[in-house]
Amino acid sequence: MPSHTTEQPDTPEPRTASALPDSTQADAASTPHPEKGRLGSVFWTSVCIAALFVVWAMLFTDSLTDVTNSSLNWVTKSFGWTYLVVTLALLIFLVFLAFSPAGDMRLGKDHDRPEFSTPAWFAMILSAVMGIGLVSYGVAEPISHFATPPHGLAEPGTPEAAIRAMQYSYFDWGLHAWAIFAVFGLGIAYSTFRKGRRALVSQLFHPLLGERVNGPIGKAIDVLAVFATLFGTTTSLGLGALQVNNGLGSLFGVPVNSVSQVLIISLVTAVFTLSAVTGVSKGIKLLSQGSTILGIALFVFILVVGPTVFLANLYIESVGTWASDFFRMSLQGTAFGGLDWMQWWTYFMMAWWVSWGAFVGVFLARISRGRTIRGFIMGVLVVPTVVFFTWFTVFGGTAIHVDMFEKGTIAKQTAADINSAFFATLDHFPFATVTSAVAIVLVVMFFVSGADANTYVLSMMTSGGSLNPHRRVLVLWGVLTGLTAIALLLAGGLNALQNTVIVTSAPFLVIIAGLAVSFWKELAGDRRAAEQALEDGKFALEHGTGRDEEAVHAGPTTTPSSH
């Protein structure tokens, strides 16, 4: 999943947002938010429920497993189709918005211009793309689909299966994911920078709910946002621990078990919590930049030593199949079976994106102030999608080539342990020990930099949108995030992580749909107001000119006050 560049001040106070860095003092002063010491009902409700969940998972593991399994089956059987419909609707809405007259409006005041150059902006978006998910699933998803083609669309291990494998990997990691992030980014940027509201999800519903966003309804929305973000983060932490454990096992023989994974999460939690509290900007900034550089280096290495020509051909053909089947895939449900597959892949991926929506939206909003709506949509949808497609083709396509033409067993190894896929692929190329070590370091970097920023956002959302949450709040959310990840791993490993993120994100899917409606209502109202003001100005000018001419003919008895 995405991991974000974090910029923090060198001194402990005041600390600016990891995901919302370095806003000007004037902006901070003009944006109303409570003092860091005032913690309201959103904080206490969220912390209490999170703590109860951890206790439940630790002491009554079987009960948690039964409840999440039952909830998962009920949610996906009854409402799984909503993930498909809502995300496709968001994508269509964004395309319509980009090409409508509203696309010229700016995310900020009319006189605002982008803070970052377009190349720098693209680079920052790419830093958001790089995350644990690309290592966890960059090989695992394509090779799994190759061995077991989605919806029985091909025979396993055939060229057709290879195309289908890439096609569905593109679908799970492409436009639909970034449509969710883009809607959040647009809503947060417009509400915060143009309307001057606090950076809370509830504030995005002001056009629909009015002042009720400051009451119980708004607080409920913010609590849902907190839990969606929390479980999205814990899923990434859990996947990261599984990846690091597997890598250390293949390199140094470290046991791959729950004890090792708990120790890994505990250590990383301590590091990112310390970072969140102290605001060590240089270290986290270097981690973020370093992870991007290492990721690119690993990508280029596999591209060069791997089956480059095969990958180029696979890329072109797979993208063509993805494009031609786009709407069929977007609306392919489970009326005639396939629920288990959808739970493991598409529904889980969609739920994961939903759970990260608020956090990634805050990041995208911060770096996009002053850009037009059209420019924002095109950049956020196109650039990350191309990067995802390319990454999955190079790593997943390479694994497919090894199994098809070099008698490899990557698919079998992945079926036995999905977290072994990336390292199993690296084993087939030179310097496997070095590249595996690089992959482990890469995951740890994603671990720390992403969790640091996410801890800040959780603290911000439970501190009334304050840009400077209290240290004890940062520590508390850091600890709760780590404990929740540990609890879920002990309760059932990857299955528990996937089940919980699907169940907890389902209510938030409704919030996202409502957010899009609210944003459009406010946008349409502002455009009407602007057009009316323009008409009024023209009328006043024309009316004033006419009255001046009358005054000339009326003679000296006409006074300025009568105009």
CB count within 10 Å of CB 290 equals 14
Average pLDDT, the chain: 85
Find out whether the peptide bond into 14 is cis, omega within 30 degrees of 0. yes
- Count CA within 13 A, CB hemisphere, residue 102: 20
Torsion angle of C-alpha atoms 348, 3, 327, 77, degrees rounded to 10: 10
Q: Which two tokens stand for residue 10?
A: 């060198």
Nearest to 1 by CA among 477, 354, 422: 354
Place 548 in a pLDDT band, splitting at 50, 70 and 90. very low
Q: Which of 31-35, 160-164, 381-385, 414-418 has the highest mean pLDDT?
A: 160-164
Is the distance from CB of 156 to CB of 147 less than 8 angstroms?
Answer: yes
Residue 430 Cα to chain centre, angstroms: 34
For residue 52, give every residue at least 6 positions away whose Cβ sits within 8 Å of its Cβ, in sequence order, or none: none
Q: Packing angle between helix 175-189 and helix 373-405, nearest 10 degrees? A: 160
Is the distance from CB of 201 to CB of 511 less than 8 angstroms?
Answer: yes
Q: What mean pLDDT comes out for the span 434-441?
A: 93
What is the spatial distance between Cα 450 and Cα 454, in angstroms, rounded to a whole number?
6
Place 324 in a pLDDT band, splitting at 50, 70 and 90. very high
The predicted-structure confidence for 294-319, as pLDDT tens digits, reads as follows 999 999 999 999 999 999 999 999 99
Is the distance from CB of 361 to CB of 20 less than 8 angstroms?
Answer: no
Place 471 in a pLDDT band, splitting at 50, 70 and 90. confident
Q: What mean pLDDT comes out for the span 417-441?
A: 94
CB count within 10 Å of CB 552 equals 9
Question: Strand pairing partners for 372?
Answer: 106
Q: What are phi and psi of 409, to 5 degrees?
A: -130, 30
Question: Strand pairing partners for 106?
Answer: 372
The predicted-structure confidence for 36-84, as pLDDT tens digits, reads as follows 446 889 999 999 999 999 999 888 888 888 898 899 999 999 999 999 9
Q: Which of 109-113, 280-284, 378-382, 457-461 has the highest mean pLDDT?
A: 378-382
Share of the chain above pLDDT 90, in %: 55
Give the 3-state secondary structure percentages of the chain, helix then strand then coil, rounded to 5.
Answer: 80, 0, 20
Q: What mean pLDDT comes out for the span 402-431?
A: 95
Distances (CA, A) of 111 to 21, 371, 536: 21, 11, 21
What is the spatial distance between Cα 89 and Cα 103, in angstroms, rounded to a whole number?
18
- Which residue's structure tokens are 């006043």? 540
Q: Is the pLDDT of residue 562 over 60?
A: no
Q: Is the pLDDT of residue 342 over 90?
A: yes
Burial, 504: exposed, middle or buried (Cβ in 10 Å; 0-12, 13-18, 19+)? buried
What is the spatial distance between Cα 257 and Cα 504, in angstroms, rounded to a whole number?
26
CB count within 10 Å of CB 10 equals 9
Burial, 542: exposed, middle or buried (Cβ in 10 Å; 0-12, 13-18, 19+)? exposed
Q: Which two tokens stand for residue 247?
A: 């890598």
Is the distance from CB of 133 to CB of 236 less than 8 angstroms?
Answer: yes
- What pLDDT is attached to residue 452? 79
Q: Is the pLDDT of residue 272 over 90?
A: no
- What pLDDT is attached to residue 110? 86
Is the distance from CB of 364 to CB of 181 less than 8 angstroms?
Answer: yes
- What pLDDT is attached to residue 476? 92
What is the spatial distance between Cα 193 and Cα 108, in angstroms, rounded to a whole number?
5
Nearest to 200 by CA among 34, 87, 79: 34
Is the distance from CB of 357 to CB of 180 less than 8 angstroms?
Answer: yes
Q: Packing angle between helix 258-278 and helix 216-252, nearest 10 degrees? A: 120
Residues in the chain: 563
Q: Is the pLDDT of residue 490 over 90?
A: no
For residue 524, give every residue at least 6 positions away whose Cβ sits within 8 Å of its Cβ, in sequence order, or none: 102
Is the distance from CB of 7 to CB of 135 less than 8 angstroms?
Answer: no
Is the distance from CB of 242 to CB of 469 less than 8 angstroms?
Answer: no
Question: Strand pairing partners for 148?
Answer: none
3-state per-residue secondary structure call for 486-553 = HHHHHHHHHHHHHHHHHHHHHHHHHHHHHHHHHHHHHHHHHHHHHHHHHHHHHHHHHHHHHHHHHHHH
Q: Is the pLDDT of residue 164 over 70?
A: yes
The predicted-structure confidence for 3-49, as pLDDT tens digits, reads as follows 444 333 333 333 333 344 443 333 433 344 444 446 889 999 999 99
Please tell me the least confidently modeled range out of 348-357, 405-414, 532-541.
Answer: 532-541
Q: What are phi and psi of 106, to 5 degrees?
A: -100, 150
The predicted-structure confidence for 88-116, as pLDDT tens digits, reads as follows 999 999 999 999 999 999 998 888 999 88
Query: H helices within 462-470, ranges in order?
Result: none
For residue 546, give every residue at least 6 positions away whose Cβ sits within 8 Å of its Cβ, in sequence order, or none: none
Please tell me the least confidently modeled range out of 7-16, 208-217, 474-483.
Answer: 7-16
Q: What mean pLDDT comes out for the span 523-546?
A: 78
Q: Is the pLDDT of residue 223 over 90?
A: yes
Q: What mean pLDDT comes out for the span 153-179?
A: 96
N- to C-terminal Cα separation, the chain: 63
Please tell me the pTM assigned to this model. 0.86
Q: Which two tokens stand for residue 210?
A: 């009015």
Burial, 305: exposed, middle or buried (Cβ in 10 Å; 0-12, 13-18, 19+)? middle
- Which residue's structure tokens are 């911060």? 366
Domains and CATH numbers, the chain: 25-531 (1.20.1740)
- What pLDDT is attached to residue 99? 93
